[in-house]
Structure 1
Amino acid sequence: MGTIKTKPIKRIKEISKADFIKYYYKPQIPVLIEGLTTDWPAYKKWNIEYIQSLAGDQVVPLYNNEPTKGKQKSAEPTTEMKLYDYLELIKSKPTDLRIFFYDLMKNMPVLANDFSYPDIGLKFFKRLPVMFFGSKGSTVLPHYDMDLADLVHFHFHGNKRVVLFPPCQTKYLYKVPYAVHNVEDIDLDNPDFHKYPALKHLEGLEIEMKHGDALFMPSGYWHYITYLNGGFSMTLRAFSKKPQVLMRMLYNVFFMRHFENKMRKWKGQKWIDYKDKKAIKKTNKDLHKQ
């Protein structure tokens, strides 16, 4: 066992559009910006109790830390619960249950009145602000977003630890074929360097987010997230204009995702085990060549 090497993500107070584009967007470098939300109503209003007051009788799907098995889809909820009750749960005790990709405009559009889209040079896709909720004890499997969007991730109510890995580190992450995540048995908090030797060469970028923080996560960056206590976040996304990125996004969304789920339905656990073995073999072979 050992520890994954990381260095801190730069934290800044504020930035102009020109500087953000020059120093972070164009070179695709992550940065945490503290001042982007302070003039939003959300900065003062958004906490778990406020979301509860709007929850009504909504029922939400919940995800946990367990790898999907057998004929489950690659991202399949483990249970469901009333949103109000789930939020009460994460206030009271640790749980690994999370809300993943909660469509704000579809499920709670009134929240759109509480924030604005930052003028930092990104053309945000305004139809899909999404939210994520978690408790102390919940983690998010290392992955990158299938649509390869540039992301600005805003955190509220509590703290969370985010570790990012640039696309160039994919060769050390044991990426699974036909997926955007790594081998699910890997624990990046307690990495087994004997079983997964490439992890010794992995280098991440780390930050602890607090209420109101905004983290720029460039296209294709892997993210591994740990909730340090109960809280929630919102992600705004901007799609790349680069033809190569657009083609990869279309492949991921319209072919790879459906192919993966069909293979899981057909082959079940044999397909998952086959891909894991292939990922381990390929990564270790490539490491040996280096």
Structure 2
Amino acid sequence: MRLSEVQKIKNISSKDFLKNHLNRAKPIILEDFVDPKSPAFQKWNYQYFKEIAGNQKINIYGSEIESLDRVASKPIGQSTFSEYLDLIVSTPTENRLFLFNLLNIKPELKDDIHYNDVTNGKILKWLPFMFFGGEGSITRNHVDIDMSHVFITQFQGIKKI
């Protein structure tokens, strides 16, 4: 495997992004992808999510080490979203959520993010997901089967990629 440094870019045009990055499957860090004045930066925190969707039943997933030969692992249990958020705040855990789409449950949350759509509407409007995982949770290296070209915006904590 050849690793290379990922370029950080500001003010990239849609044309340049599509030609030089998306079409070539070359990752970049878009430093101005989400507007820092977006309401999400003021509103979105675990307490707010518990208030708007805390009673939502969710599937909990564990370590993926046991499921390396499968597309996805099976859930190890269920809880409410609120209970899960309490867990990841209180202790390191491998437990994580998989394809839990808070933006489908509360579509109005999409209005809280103002972003520079460098895809010209090709991807971002139809693929909104939020992922949650506590300290110690990992997802194995993979390619999304839907070729979704993930755009990650980190709101809390640290993520290593």
Q: TM-score by structure 1 length?
A: 0.49
C-alpha distance in structure 2 between counterparts of 1:94 and 1:104, whole Å: 22
- The correspondence for 1:79, drawn from 69, 77, 80, is 77
- The correspondence for 2:43, drawn from 42, 45, 53, is 45
- Provide the residue aligned with 2:23 in structure 1: 26
1:63 and 1:76 in contact (8 A); partners too: yes
- Provide the residue aligned with 2:154 in structure 1: 155
C-alpha distance in structure 2 between counterparts of 1:6 and 1:93, whole Å: 33
CA pair 86-12 structure 1, distance change in 2 beyond 3 A: same
- Provide the residue aligned with 2:97 in structure 1: 99
State yes or no: 1:12 paired with 2:9.
yes
CA pair 23-128 structure 1, distance change in 2 beyond 3 A: closer
Q: Which ranges of structure 2 fall in alignment gaps of 5 or more residues? A: none
Counterparts of 1:205-216 in structure 2, within 5 Å, are none
C-alpha distance in structure 2 between counterparts of 1:109 and 1:7, whole Å: 37
CA shift at 1:110, angstroms? 2.6
2:117 and 2:124 in contact (8 A); partners too: no
- Provide the residue aligned with 1:126 in structure 2: 125
Counterparts of 1:244-255 in structure 2, within 5 Å, are none
CA pair 15-73 structure 1, distance change in 2 beyond 3 A: closer
SS of 1:126's partner is: helix
Give the paired residue count: 157
Counterparts of 1:1-290 in structure 2, within 5 Å, are 6-37=3-34, 38-66=36-64, 67-68=66-67, 74-116=72-114, 118-122=116-120, 123-124=122-123, 126-162=125-161
C-alpha distance in structure 2 between counterparts of 1:74 and 1:150, whole Å: 18
Q: Name the structure with the higher strand share.
A: 1
C-alpha distance in structure 1 between counterparts of 2:72 and 2:119, whole Å: 34
1:97 and 1:138 in contact (8 A); partners too: yes
Q: Name the structure with the higher helix share.
A: 1
Q: Which ranges of structure 1 fall in alignment gaps of 5 or more residues? A: 163-290
1:36 and 1:118 in contact (8 A); partners too: yes
CA pair 5-44 structure 1, distance change in 2 beyond 3 A: farther
CA pair 118-104 structure 1, distance change in 2 beyond 3 A: farther
CA pair 107-45 structure 1, distance change in 2 beyond 3 A: same
SS of 1:24's partner is: helix
Structure whose alpha-carbon radius of gyration is higher: 1
C-alpha distance in structure 1 between counterparts of 2:14 and 2:37, whole Å: 17
CA shift at 1:68, angstroms? 3.6
CA shift at 1:54, angstroms? 1.5
C-alpha distance in structure 1 between counterparts of 2:143 and 2:111, whole Å: 29
Q: Which amino acid aligns with 2:56?
A: Q
- Provide the residue aligned with 1:282 in structure 2: none
Q: TM-score by structure 2 length?
A: 0.83
CA shift at 1:139, angstroms? 0.3
